[in-house]
Amino acid sequence: MLEDTLVGFRLPAWRPQLKVRESTHPKFYWFDTGVARGAAGLIEDQVDSSWLGTAFETWMLHEIRAHNSYSRKNRGLFYYALPSDLEVDLIIETRKQLRSRKSEIVAIEFKLSKRWQREWERPIGDIAVAKKVDVAAMYGVYNGDEILQFDNFSVLPVAEFLNRLHSGKIF
């Protein structure tokens, strides 16, 4: 019912079978994090950094979903998680797997931080190293000011990411 009334959406789990145990349950995102706080009975509570991070991730997902729809690309959007708490915030499937070829993805990690920490790249890097899918691009999106490049991993400030997204350069 929540999805039918556009109050929220489910982001399905991506299951490339890279590891033995991968999350299979979808994640639910509210259309508005204020409504989510209200539903959780947290309106009067102080907003903490964890909640702000969730709000940031939700905002970025809404932007990507809107671009995916408006551009009529209709790419598959997923998250990837393992029981060890390693997670990739967003997997965009840019090419579906066939018997004769691997699927192709863009992987993105969102962090509400002014400074990028290299360990945040690890879950995405693990996917690329497995070589069971073609990784077209790997991004980190953060609240800092600098564009950073680490091997094939691009770290972009929010404004730069949104500019590239809406000009069709992310996927």
Q: Which residue bears the tokens 């790419």?
A: 75
- Dmax over Cα atoms in the chain, in whole Å? 55
Angle subtended at Cα 151 by Cα 171 and Cα 122, rounded to the nearest 5 degrees: 80
Confidence of residue 7 (pLDDT cuts 50, 70, 90): low
Residue 46, pLDDT above cutoff 80:
yes
What is the secondary structure of the chain as a DSSP string? -TTTTTSEEEEPBP---SSS----SPEEEES-HHHHHHHTT-TTSPPPHHHHHHHHHHHHHHHHHHHHHHTT---EEEEEE-TTS-EEEEEEEEE--BTTB--EEEEEEEE--SS--GGGGHHHHHHHHH-SSEEEEEEEEESSS--EEETTEEEEEHHHHHHHHHTT---
Average pLDDT for the chain: 89
Which whole number is the average pLDDT over 152-162?
98
- CA 37 – CA 19 distance, rounded (Å): 34
Q: pTM for the whole thing?
A: 0.86
Query: In this structure, what token pair is assigned to residue 78?
Result: 């997923």
Closest CA to 138 of 147, 149, 146, 130: 149
Q: Which among 4-18, 20-34, 53-67 has the top mean pLDDT?
A: 53-67
CB within 8 A of 68, min separation 6: which ones? 74, 75, 77, 92, 171
Return d(Cα 124, Cα 106) in angstroms, integer. 10
Return the domain boundaries, the chain. 74-166
